[in-house]
A = this chain, B = another copy of it.
Amino acid sequence: MQGSNSGGKLETRQYLDKMFYPKSIAMIEASSKREWQVKGILNRNYSGDIYFVSKIEKEIFGIECYHDISELPDGIDHAIIAVNRKKLKEIIKTCIEKKFYTLHIFSAGAAEFDEEGVKLEREIQELIKNKIRAIGPNCMGVYCPEGRISYAPGFSEKSGRVAFVSQSGDITTQYVLNENHYGVNFSKVASIGNSIDLKIIDFIDYFNSDEKTEIISIYFEGFSRYEQEEGKKLRNVLMKNKKPLLLLRGGKTDQGKRAAASHTGAVATDDRIWRTLYKQTNALEVTSYEELLDSTIAFNYCKNLYPKVKSVVLIVWSGGKAVLTTDQLIQIGIDVPEIKEPTRSKMKEMISIGSVKNPLDLPWIGREGKYPEICKLSIEEEYIGGVILETGAWEKLDERFNTYFENLLKIFHYTKQQGKPFLLSLPHSHLYQQREEYKNKLVENGIPVFPTVSRAAKAFLNLFEFQRKFLF
* Chain A contact residues, CB within 8 Å of chain B: 108-109, 112-113, 166-172, 174, 177-178, 180-181, 219, 221, 248, 250-256, 258-260, 262-264, 288-290, 317-324, 326-331, 335-338, 352-353, 355, 357, 359, 361, 392, 427-430, 432-433, 435-436, 451-452, 454
Contacts and interface: CB of A to CB of B under 8 A. Distances in A.
Given A321-B289, A392-B174, A361 B259 contact: yes
Nearest to A262: B355
Contact of A168 (B109, B318, B427, B428): B318
A320 B168 contact: yes
Nearest to A113: B353
B326 A255 contact: yes
A256 B324 contact: yes
Given A259-B323, A428-B428, A318 B454 contact: no
A43 to B, nearest CB: 15
Contact of A324 (B289, B319, B328, B430): B289
Given A181-B429, A326-B253, A452-B290, A167 B320 contact: yes
A320 B451 contact: no
A347 B427 CA distance: 40
A289 B263 CA distance: 34
Contact of A322 (B113, B259, B326): B259
A318 B353 contact: no
B178 A323 contact: no
Nearest to A109: B353
A270 to B, nearest CB: 15
A451 B428 CA distance: 10
B170 A263 contact: no
A109 B354 CA distance: 8
B317 A263 contact: no
Given A219-B320, A323-B256, A355 B178 contact: no
A402 to B, nearest CB: 20
B256 A330 contact: yes
A324 B288 contact: yes
B327 A429 contact: no
Given A221-B323, A324-B250, A108 B353 contact: yes
B320 A171 contact: yes
Nearest to A351: B113
Contact of A335 (B252, B255, B330, B336): B255
Nearest to A427: B174
Contacts of A221: 320, 323
A387 to B, nearest CB: 16
Contacts of A250: 320, 323-324, 327
Given A251-B327, A330-B255, A432-B436, A357 B320 contact: no
Contacts of A288: 324, 328, 454
B171 A262 contact: no
A397 to B, nearest CB: 16
A170 B318 contact: yes
B361 A263 contact: yes
Contact of A357 (B109, B177, B248, B258): B258
Given A324-B288, A392-B174, A319 B251 contact: no
A250 B108 CA distance: 49
7 contacts: A178-B429, A219-B320, A251-B323, A253-B327, A259-B326, A262-B355, A289-B324
A34 to B, nearest CB: 12
Contacts of A392: 174
Nearest to A289: B324
A258 B172 CA distance: 43
A325 to B, nearest CB: 8
Nearest to A454: B288
Contacts of A248: 324
Contacts of A429: 174, 177-178, 181
A323 B353 contact: no
Contacts of A166: 320
A259 B315 CA distance: 12
A258 B319 contact: no
